Chain A
Amino acid sequence: MSRLRSTNAMILAGLAVLALLGVIAVAAPWIAPYDPEALDVMGVMGPPSLAHPFGLDVLGRDVLSRVLYSLRVSLLVSISAVAVATLLAVPLGLLAGYFGRWVDTAISRALDMMLVLPAMLMAITLIAILGPGSAVATLAIAMIYLPILARVMRTSTLVVTGLDYVAGSRARGASHLRVLVSHVAPNALGPVVVQASVLSAFALQLEAGLSFLGLGTQPPTPSLGGMLADGRDVLIQAPWVEIFPGLAIVIAVLAFTLLGEGLRRVFDPRGVAE
């Protein structure tokens, strides 16, 4: 009973923090105290104060306003990357797990090839080819997660396809399409949802890392990774420029992780998504 309560608490807490971050991201133009690009030449690297709770950066921009605006691109890139990966992975995993044989072999081998490079290197290679930017970063992150999510979907489809009601449905004359869409897919989706939530946390970190290297979101669009790169040289003189964007990343990552772990206990007690 207490386990159930703590599971619900995890999911609720994760969702609540994410909803808050989402509202902040959407409403940034209305709640940010300053224009994220406005320069206050007199206040360059000013410490946190009542007027500027997170201080000012190296160009005299308000750090709080920039963090609020940065959440937009960070959440947008990480959530859309995972969404794109999931949308592609679900049908691929479903087909591979349901039909098996050569369909499975073809899809699985193709996905294996995408795992030849370590994740970060894969992202950087794609960016080397297509050029830096948030759109390319989104695509790169989606490409990294596609094989992982498809594999989870395949495994969970295999489990569901073996159940009696699927065979029963086929025996009653339902078409493959009908069986897949109305019986297999809904029951096999749980572990993918769990994994997608966990991966969103890593996607956020990855986007920040890429932007930190100058390969993700490009200035003047404020991003958490970009802010960390901007303040790197004045770390000792103005640590607030580095502390607050980093804390924002940690909070968002923890929220996604909490949600993912909570969902795992509900939707994937067998641990398919591990």
Chain B
Amino acid sequence: MSGQIAFILRRVALTLPTLFVMSLVVFLIIRLVPGDPVRTMLGFRATDANVAELRQQLGLDQSLFTQYVVWIGNLLHGDLGKDIVSHAPLSELLAQRLPVTFELTGLSMLLAVAFGVPLGVWAASGGKWVNRLTEGFVIFGIAIPDFWLGIMLVLVFTGILAVLPPTGYTPFLKNPLGNLRYMVLPVSTLAVGEAAYILRTTRGAVKAVLGRPFVTFLRAKGLSPRRILFGHVLRNAGPSIVTVIGIQVGVLLGGAIIVESLFALPGVGRLIVTGINQRNYPTVQVGVLAIATIFIVVSLITDLIVGWLDPRVADGAGT
């Protein structure tokens, strides 16, 4: 038990340097822009006074070290700065955008796991044709770019069948059913590729466990295949499956950037893309910071779950 706690503490401590490096990267975004970032942001029509004002507002006239300390201090107090186009506080903007990204990625992952894991188990324990069928799904699920799949889904479900709205968004709390109708296509778009990866990993992990001697022993003992699969094999294949799901969250968050733009969903990803096009660096910074933080936290949670599922991982880290 104390080994488990030590493992948790060690793993949490490991995220601190990661968070630090990530914050440095985000901090430097605006400072690494070639030329004068303030002039780039304001455009060539800006007066010298405007430029000087924004430079001071962003603290760019101070030393790099002071800038970083002030920036981090503000972040920790929840002051994320202002959008330089709309002048809205970025904390408010983020509070509006985050739920959309959470809903999109959360539902996609749920759907991908709901399909990928059972199909993977089935593929590992099933016959030849199950294998061929799932193999085909894996190959195409990975080869088809998610945004193109999204476009084709729109073509079929809004163009030909006319059963779903093309693009747009209503908040869930305002109109739950309308919200879900808008989310079906973007969520499925993201979920197909993820499901393919999860299926492939589950199949591999379950197959590997099925070949281990203890499974032969359990069979010899006369346990039913069902009990062996659900009681023993899945438990042992669990850590690899959870690890891949955690890694795939990063891919999913990246995919969300494209899919939000494709389906005109007002999420964090779209905030970043429009921010880049408008040279709105403070907004880009906050968007990148938000997604990177989610990614780091999810990686942490995944590792903790793996450590809990497989105590050997926790012990190994403790020695």
Contacts and interface: CB of A to CB of B under 8 A. Distances in A.
Interface of A: 113, 116-121, 124-125, 127-132, 201, 205, 208-209, 212-215, 228, 232, 235-236, 239, 242-243, 246, 249-250, 253-254, 257
A215 B276 contact: yes
A41 B29 CA distance: 43
B149 to A, nearest CB: 8
Contact of B291 (A113, A121, A243, A250): A121
Interface string B142-186: 111101100110110011000000000000000000000000000
A250 B148 contact: yes
Given A228-B148, A236-B158, 11 more contacts: A118-B253, A120-B257, A127-B276, A128-B275, A205-B145, A213-B257, A215-B273, A228-B147, A249-B145, A250-B148, A254-B143
B98 to A, nearest CB: 15
Nearest to A198: B142
B254 interface: yes
Interface stretch (B17-25, B49-57, B72-80, B219-227): B17-25
Contacts of A208: 145, 147-148
A201 to B, nearest CB: 7
Interface centre among B140, B145, B152, B276 (most CB of A within 10 A): B145
B85 interface: no
Nearest to A232: B151
Contacts of B28: 129
Contacts, number: 119
Closest 3 CB pairs of A and B: A120-B254, A118-B250, A246-B148
Contacts of B21: 113, 116
Contacts of B145: 205, 208-209, 246, 249-250, 253
7 contacts: A116-B21, A117-B295, A118-B254, A125-B288, A235-B151, A235-B155, A250-B145
B305 interface: no
Contacts of A119: 250-251, 254
Contact of A235 (B154, B251, B272): B154
B159 A239 contact: yes
A201 B140 CA distance: 12
B99 to A, nearest CB: 19
A131 B255 CA distance: 20
A117 B25 contact: yes
Nearest to A125: B288
A169 to B, nearest CB: 34
Nearest to A129: B32
B236 interface: no
Contacts of B158: 236
A212 B261 CA distance: 9
B32 A212 contact: no
Given A124-B272, A212-B147, A239-B159, A129 B254 contact: no
A23 B251 CA distance: 32
A27 B276 CA distance: 35
Contacts of A118: 250-251, 253-254, 291-292, 295
Nearest to A256: B143
B201 to A, nearest CB: 10
Given A209-B147, A236-B159, A116 B250 contact: no
Interface of B: 18, 21-22, 25-26, 28-29, 32-34, 139-140, 142-145, 147-148, 151-152, 154-155, 158-159, 250-251, 253-255, 257-258, 261-262, 272-273, 275-277, 281, 284, 288, 291-292, 295-296
Given A121-B254, A209-B258, A235-B155, A250 B292 contact: no
B288 A239 contact: no
B261 A213 contact: yes
B257 A116 contact: no
Contacts of B29: 125, 128-129
Nearest to A245: B148
Nearest to B148: A246
Contact of A124 (B32, B139, B147, B276): B276
Contacts of A246: 145, 148, 151-152
B151 A228 contact: yes
A212 B251 CA distance: 17
A11 to B, nearest CB: 16
B317 to A, nearest CB: 16
Contacts of A236: 155, 158-159
Contacts of A129: 28-29, 32-33
Nearest to A132: B276
A72 B196 CA distance: 29
A232 B254 CA distance: 20
A253 B21 CA distance: 33
Contacts of B147: 208-209, 212, 228
Nearest to A123: B254
Given A125-B29, A253-B143, A253-B145, A117 B258 contact: no
